[in-house]
Amino acid sequence: MQKQAHSSKVWFITGAARGIGLSLARQALACGDSVAATSRTLASLQQAFGKSSERLLALELDLVNEASVQIAIDKAIATFGRIDCLVNNAGYGQQGTIEALSDTELRHNFDVNVFAPLHVLRHALAHLRARRSGHVFNVASIVGFQGGYAGWGSYVASKFALAGLTETLAAELAELNIKATVVYPGPVRTGFLSKDTLVVAGRSIADYSEAQSSLDLHLNGLDGKQAGDPEKVAKLILQAASVPEPPVHLFAGKIANTLAEQKMQAVRQDLEAWRGASDATDFTEKRCWKRAN
């Protein structure tokens, strides 16, 4: 891993009142950086950080409201003069089988997990582009890379979308000297799986027993026992922000690394098993031969 001396940065972090976002904001402040920390309520930020300071700007933000996003970005720029590191961290888990999920449940999950980050990007990238500098971090999940979990289709799809979006961003922004990284944490010990945070579909279908077993496991077996340490995930993001050539794909935790390797192996097996049939779907080039006189 490359290392370079720390220079003061300005961070814009969504979902900064808890979990990875909170850990990242606190560590950035401890490093001497400035942070625009956002959450749905100002009270949650005040509870998390206490009094504001010259280097902390607490912003109440409705991420699904584009006007609210624009106001927050403008306030951050007006306060600190720039944004160096943009972190789309806010999101929530939606559980439920594809058949059982309602259109409203699906769309709201995508509004928060996909379209809200797009709001932030649209209004922040112009500032980064003008300075020809910056780093975008989109916090996905290992399920945005390896998605084979019954009952989590909406959440998985939203995180796959965020990962694909980041790959495109990295290609678009390269000529502007702006970096883009998708972070794939494994299970992290935050409030993500608590009954107060995880959203469960209003409808369930008994035939989908695997989905129900997965829900029971996550709520009753994994909540509060996840292997990932949010403080260490935040430190990893800070490390990635400090090097001249950061990764596009940043996996966080042993479980994430193992699942990523399993996914890549499974894809390789499918690719090789079907390579002949796949290659055969191309047009066959016709060659014309002239007979010698």
Respond yes or no: is residue 155 known to be catalytic.
yes
Instruction: For the chain, give the longest Cα–Cα distance.
Output: 94
C-alpha closest to that of 126 among 173, 59, 181, 68: 173
Beta bridge partners of 87: 13, 137
Give the angle 257-263-269 at the CA atoms, nearest 5°. Answer: 140
Give 152's Cβ-side CA count (13 Å radius). 24
Secondary structure letter of residue 53 according to DSSP = B
Handedness of CA 76, 64, 60, 28 (dihedral sign): negative
Please spell the DSSP secondary structure of 141-200, one letter per residue.
Answer: -GGGT----TT-HHHHHHHHHHHHHHHHHHHHHGGGTEEEEEEEE-SBSSSTTSTTTSEE
> Locate tokens 């970005």: which residue?
73
C-alpha closest to that of 145 among 237, 264, 234: 264
Task: Give the span between the Cα atoms of 149 and 212, in whole angstroms.
Answer: 11
Query: Catalytic residue among 92, 149, 155, 208, which?
Result: 155
Give the 3-state secondary structure of residue 77: helix
Task: Give the span between the Cα atoms of 94 and 97, in whole angstroms.
Answer: 10
Q: Quick one: residue 253, left, alpha or beta (phi over 0 = left, psi -120 to 50 = alpha)? A: left
Could you count the other beta carbons within 10 Å of the beta carbon of residue 264?
A: 12
> Locate tokens 């976002």: which residue?
21
What residues are annotated to the active site? 155
